[in-house]
Structure 1
């Protein structure tokens, strides 16, 4: 069975130039990123692909003839894993819809690999959320956090949501003293800008209309850091020389695959498939295609001891006027 993970990257990504127009949402504006096709073509050709390493090719071939691991009773459409994508609220690198209607992104590649592992075909639908969609229009919903909805059980943890710093040069996770008084590029009005202002970290803000412009400024030394959604930043940093992840501002929140809580058969199948993809290197290959070298995010990837915001002292009340001063004579 042939999944979307096996398609050539460059022709798929060329259509992204016709897709998104994101503003103020901490995500790349792909319509402004003219180098996307060439960049991902280079990734496909010039960087060793973990999907092709010894052992993984055999795993891919074995899945092509695998019998279904989930019964039709657990699926909306027999023999097919129908995947819900939050395409209206989640952008690249997770998912985007091309002009012809085809979905691409990390979520698409991973869901396709999961379906292959389960011996199923795969199809994709756009959904606003897991609520009302699971068990009706789709079997699973990507980018689901535990506790997001009582109508979805989050299985596995293939991604993490966090606000992250990016810096020119491989410096590792930054310290507060590295960041203090430095210039940080931000998308104006973004979630990341609000997150920074909710701390006591003192940095000089330089705002941009979109993240593409912020990363272009970082690339030429116009700012010291960029603060943005971690996965959006990882995607954009692949197109710049020597720009690296420098730590998260907040604690990463795990995102998994949402499944109907009562569909325990499918939950077990999804978990088993994800475990296999993690152990045989296929998940790492998918991550490297869309995120470059950014590691899985956790406690050790967070900037430590970020100061709390300074509380302003309440203004003192004026003392009552005393007789004999400016008080009126009675």
Structure 2
């Protein structure tokens, strides 16, 4: 892909900046190209999160979900036709690496905007502000709020700090259980090996929609998770274009349609208004 060559050069510039003590942003911003000039895009998405980013069949390279729809909408607003958008699977740990190396041009993968990540990635958005919540079995009537989890087992995906937000952030002692992925956590919940799963409510809603009647939301959300569009570091022009696209997506009702398509059958309390953007500088 034509645009990828610039990304590799940008990664080399970052490495050179580190060696010679130059500011990383000046090394990258010296280039004139931007994602807004691209005629094709490679987008990193999750492959194992129903409703958000899910590979429809193992090895097929076909993905579906809210994040996929958002990426296609943004690409179209950037002038890239759907047939010129390639999707590749990324894990949480790979997102920065694949952007910096040029393996992907954009990441739309439940990618929370954080100060640490903004030192390596320019974020558009957020395109949605999720909140951490709790999923329990449908028959767990004794759990009506997050404080009812005291002394119970709560599963989180590997590398996540969701359970720590309960124990350390809220001061509620729970037994922290780590699954390989959130799919693993859901299997443990279904079989009764853990009492609850906690993470972003959009992620939980996807699993809820996949198994109607098996689980329910506690609907006692806490913390904000601002899902950003990961872009090459320093590509301010692309960031501004992405923000304009996200604004239109909400104002013209497309975001509402997408959210209802993937999560409308759940009891998730969704937000249909334009999120407050973080800024592109």
Q: Distance in 2 between matches of 1:204 and 1:78?
A: 48
- C-alpha distance 115-84 of structure 1, shift in aligned 2 (>3 A): closer
Asked if the contact 2:98–2:104 (Cα under 8 Å) also holds between the matched residues in 1, the reply is no
Q: Tell me the secondary structure at the aligned position of residue 283 of structure 1.
A: helix
Cα distance change, pair 247–263 in 1 and its aligned pair in 2 (3 A) = same
Give aligned pairs, total: 217
Q: What do you get for the CA RMSD once the two structures are aligned?
A: 4.1
Give TM-score scaled by structure 1 length: 0.51
Q: Find the partner of 1:139 among 98, 105, 109.
A: 105
For residues 35-114 of structure 1, the aligned pairs below 5 Å read 73-75=33-35, 78-80=38-40, 82-87=41-46, 91-97=49-55, 98-114=58-74
Cα distance in 2 between the residues matched to 1:200 and 1:217: 27
Contact 1:85–1:95, Cα closer than 8 Å, also in 2: no
Q: What is the aligned counterpart of 1:295 among 269, 277, 280?
A: 269
**Between Structure 1 and Structure 2, which shows a larger proportion of helix residues?**
2
Map Cα deviations across residues 200-247 of structure 1 (whole Å, 9 max, x no partner). Answer: 3256889989333355368xxx98754344333111112222723522
Going by fraction, where is strand more abundant, 1 or 2?
Answer: 2
Does 1:265 find its partner at 2:227? no
Which residue of 2 is the match for residue 232 of structure 1? 203
Question: Shift of the alpha carbon at 1:113?
Answer: 1.5
- For structure 2, the residue ranges without an aligned partner over 5 or more in a row are 1-31, 272-281
Do 1:144 and 1:154's aligned partners in 2 also have CA atoms closer than 8 Å?
no
Residue of structure 2 equivalent to 1:248: 221
Change (3 A) 1:186 1:137: closer
Distance 1:144 1:197 in 2: 21
Structure 1, gaps ≥5 residues long: 1-71, 298-330
Q: Deviations over 1:230-270 (max 9, x none)?
A: 33311111222272352235x22212112234333322221
- Residue 172 of structure 2 is matched in structure 1 by 201
Residue 164 of structure 1: how far off its partner (Å): 1.6
What is the aligned counterpart of 1:166 among 107, 115, 135?
135
1:257 partner SS:
strand
